[in-house]
């Protein structure tokens, strides 16, 4: 069976935990998890179904290891690949920058020919601005997880999102 590549970065461990939850929900044997801190652009060659995850830090910045990898990331050809994004953030304390980095990853995927999956309703979140929100504000361009304000919702959100991307990505 074709493997799914999950690439994540983390500063304090939350995104790694959510990456693990996603992997287990999809079936641990189907997913290969890569910490972006030690990934190479060529690691993406092995997959046509990809999941990307990162938190947003310091008022709308990318997570540090994703930031180090960014130039390589922007050169990856995503044509023929389906890509779902997820991100962690804090909608109350960073309400003007909520999961901005998800929007940045999604932009690159689109620009480089990928097919996005896993858009997620903004209902149930309270924030002011997000680069990850669609123009009409109805969706985030990936799963939004808030371990700081809504940790109790994480498990169900992951379950629902994984069920959704299983269909959308034909997993
Ligand atoms: C100093 C600091 C800055 C942050 N900046 C943002 C931000 O701009 N936008 C956002 O959505 N979340 C922001 N957060 C929240 C983190 O993204 C959140 O805590 C996340 O779960 C951390 O994930 P990690 O443990 O994988 O690094 C910030 C948190 C801290 C402590």
CB of 147 closer than 6 A to ligand 1? Answer: yes
Give the model's pLDDT for residue 1.
Answer: 81
Q: Assess contact for 118 and 144: CB atoms under 8 A.
A: no
Residue 104 C-alpha to ligand 1 middle, in angstroms? 15
Strands 61-62 and 31-35 turn out to be unpaired
Cα distance between residue 64 and residue 37, in whole Å: 9
Hey, which of 12, 22, 56, 105 would you mutate to test ligand 1's pocket, going by the most ligand atoms within 8 Å of its Cβ?
56
DSSP H or E run through 126: none
Contacts with 123 (C-beta within 8 Å, 6 or more apart), sequence order: none
Quote the mean pLDDT of the chain.
98
Tell me the C-alpha distance between 29 and 63, whole Å.
27
CATH number at 142 reads 3.40.50.360
Number of neighbouring beta carbons within 10 Å of residue 87: 31
Q: Which domain holds residue 107?
A: 4-168
What is the rounded distance in angstroms from the CA atom of residue 47 to the CA atom of residue 51? 10
Give the residue ranges of the chain where pLDDT is below 70.
none
CA separation for the pair 138, 81 (Å, rounded): 25
146 close to ligand 1 (CB < 6 Angstrom): no
The rounded distance, in Å, linking the Cα atoms of 81 and 98 is: 26
**Ligand 1 site, residue 56, Cβ cutoff 6 A:** yes
Could you read off the pLDDT of 5-43 as tens digits, one per residue? 999 999 999 999 999 999 999 999 999 999 999 999 999
- The number of domains in the chain is 1
The pLDDT of residue 74 is: 98
Which ligand 1 atom lies nearest to the CA of residue 8? 26
What's residue 28's pLDDT?
Answer: 96
What is the DSSP pairing of strand 139-140 with strand 143-145? unpaired
Sign of CA dihedral 114, 6, 46, 75: positive
Residue linked to tokens 């990505």 = 169
């Amino acid at each position: 069976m074709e493997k799914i590549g999950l690439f994540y970065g983390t500063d304090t461990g939350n995104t790694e935990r959510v990456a693990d939850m996603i992997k287990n929900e999809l079936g641990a044997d189907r997913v290969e998890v890569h910490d972006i801190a030690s990934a190479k652009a060529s690691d993406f060659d092995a997959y046509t179904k990809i999941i990307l995850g990162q938190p947003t830090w310091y008022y709308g910045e990318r997570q540090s290891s994703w930031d180090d990898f960014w130039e390589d990331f922007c050169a990856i050809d995503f044509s023929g690949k389906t890509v779902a994004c997820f991100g962690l953030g804090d909608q109350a304390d960073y309400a003007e920058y909520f999961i901005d980095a998800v929007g940045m990853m999604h932009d690159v995927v689109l620009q480089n020919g990928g097919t996005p999956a896993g858009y997620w309703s903004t209902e149930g979140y309270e924030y002011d601005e997000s680069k990850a929100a669609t123009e009409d504000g109805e969706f985030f361009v990936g799963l939004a997880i808030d371990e700081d304000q809504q940790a109790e919702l994480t498990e169900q959100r992951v379950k629902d999102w994984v069920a959704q991307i299983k269909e959308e990505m034909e997993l």
